[in-house]
Amino acid sequence: MWDFKQAVWACFIVLISLVGSSLVEDFMTTSCNVTLRERASGRLETSTSLTYDNLMDCYTTVAVASGKKILMLFNRIEVEVPLKGKCVDWLTIYNGANMKVDRLLNESCGVLTISNLTSTSNYVTVFFHTDNTAVFRGFDLVYTAFSYAPCSGGDFACNNGLCIDGSLQCDTVGQCGDNSDEFGCAEKVQQKKKDGLTLGLMIGGGAVGVLLLLLLAWLGYKVYAYYKWKGWLDRNLVDTWDNGMEDDIYQYPVTDRYSKYEVGRRGRRPPKAVPYTDDPEGFSEVEPRKGETEQEEDSPEVSAETGPHGKQEVEN
């Protein structure tokens, strides 16, 4: 069985694995004929499934900040092999914002290992075509905006003379082209874990503190309500007689709303009324409610001579 500390570490490691990489992933099947703008780095793949689709004709243009260039690193290229010496599925990369410019990569197919590609502007266009004969895993590439040294503030200086965004260092993905942005990251990752654990403990401690304050407030209210009720009982304890036996009972106060005397609309007492009395001073005789007088005048009087129906009763 895991103890509490091991459970916290396990949760933290899972969180790091989920958010450790800052890369945004896009897929040709869902980002067909679109432009991806203003990203420091990202990943582009052919499909969300294990293999790409048939009959694809898609381009995706990558645009980074003005003054930057684009470095492209390939993790995989697995496209249908040529038929009769000609590619039927292929990948092409253009050195610009459309397919009318020079190519960084000509029509390529099969299982390939390609060196890093760099653009001469802040645009590249990736084009992918497939027929209806077979499907493979396709390609997986990482693109990164870069500039050449000297690096500006906030940038990370790669060992190969490139400058990339400082947030890309130690994100578990090599984006310099020589993997220098991932060198010596073990200590930094460990420090991130410690900082994350400290932050988690602080948040958890704060939550526990809030819960304790709420609990104390609730207990304080309960104590206050108890002594308020007890004080009322002490003030309203009376003696009465029941069948010749003395008994102590708690007599509830007679309120305006439920007393046998009407005291204004909605049971309001006048300012000078004495609280908790059956008959507030000066209100023993109250005017009847509207309609009660008319009802009493309209109802026939019952007498011994006429009876309840107004007819004279004859004694037998």
Please say whether the beta carbons of 32 and 48 come within 8 A: no
Q: What angle (nearest 5°) sits at the alpha carbon of residue 57, between those of residues 69 and 121? A: 10
Beta bridge partners of 147: 163
Q: Which amino acid is at 251?
A: Q
Among all chains, which residue has been given the structure tokens 């082209």?
177
pLDDT in tens, 71-93: 999 999 999 999 989 999 999 99
pLDDT value for 272: 54
Please say whether the beta carbons of 165 and 154 come within 8 A: yes
pLDDT value for 178: 94
Confidence of residue 242 (pLDDT cuts 50, 70, 90): very low
pLDDT in tens, 29-55: 999 999 999 899 999 999 999 999 999
Confidence of residue 97 (pLDDT cuts 50, 70, 90): very high
Distances (CA, A) of 197 to 41, 116, 191, 203: 28, 38, 10, 10
pLDDT in tens, 104-128: 999 999 999 999 999 999 999 999 9
Distance of alpha carbon 180 from alpha carbon 162, whole angstroms = 10
- Sequence-ordered list of residues with C-beta below 8 angstroms from that of 95, at least 6 positions apart, any chain: 101, 102, 103, 104, 119, 120, 121, 124
> Which range has the top average pLDDT, 11-25, 144-158, 183-197?
144-158
pLDDT in tens, 136-176: 999 999 999 999 999 998 999 999 999 999 999 988 899 99
Greater confidence (249 vs 288) lies with 288
HSE-up of residue 300 (Cα within 13 Å, Cβ side): 9
For residue 203, pLDDT over 60 is answered with yes
> Which range has the top average pLDDT, 155-159, 170-174, 282-286, 307-311?
155-159
Report the candidate in 145, 147, 66, 136 with the shortest Cα–Cα distance to residue 108: 136
Q: Specify the pTM.
A: 0.57
Please say whether the beta carbons of 145 and 164 come within 8 A: yes
For residue 247, pLDDT over 50 is answered with no
For residue 234, pLDDT over 80 is answered with no
* 18: enclosing H helix or E strand: helix 4-19
Report the candidate in 272, 273, 239, 236 with the shortest Cα–Cα distance to residue 253: 236
E strands in 83-199: 90-94, 103-108, 117-118, 123-129, 138-148, 155-157, 162-165
pLDDT value for 10: 46
DSSP letters, 263-309, are -SGGGPPPTTPPSS-SS-TT-SS-PPPTTHHHHHHHSPPP-TTT-TT
Both tokens of 219, joined, read 């207990």
* 43: enclosing H helix or E strand: strand 41-45
Both tokens of 41, joined, read 């780095």
Among all chains, which residue has been given the structure tokens 């005397």?
261
pLDDT value for 166: 93
Confidence of residue 316 (pLDDT cuts 50, 70, 90): very low
Greater confidence (24 vs 241) lies with 24
pLDDT value for 251: 46
pLDDT mean across residues, the chain: 77
pLDDT value for 120: 95
Please say whether the beta carbons of 91 and 157 come within 8 A: no
pLDDT value for 298: 52
- Sequence-ordered list of residues with C-beta below 8 angstroms from that of 70, at least 6 positions apart, any chain: 62, 64, 118, 119, 122, 123, 124, 143, 144, 145, 146
For residue 188, pLDDT over 80 is answered with no
For residue 282, pLDDT over 90 is answered with no
Q: Where do the structural domains in the chain lie, given as residue ranges? A: 20-183
Instruction: Kindly report the three-state secondary structure assignment for every residue of 67-97.
Output: CCEEEEEEEEEECCCCECCECCCEEEEECCC
Distance of alpha carbon 122 from alpha carbon 117, whole angstroms = 13
pLDDT value for 266: 46
pLDDT value for 232: 72
- What CATH number has the domain spanning 20-183? 2.60.120.290
Please say whether the beta carbons of 143 and 71 come within 8 A: yes
Three-state DSSP state, 63: strand
Both tokens of 36, joined, read 């991806």
Mean pLDDT within 260-282:
49
For residue 22, pLDDT over 70 is answered with no
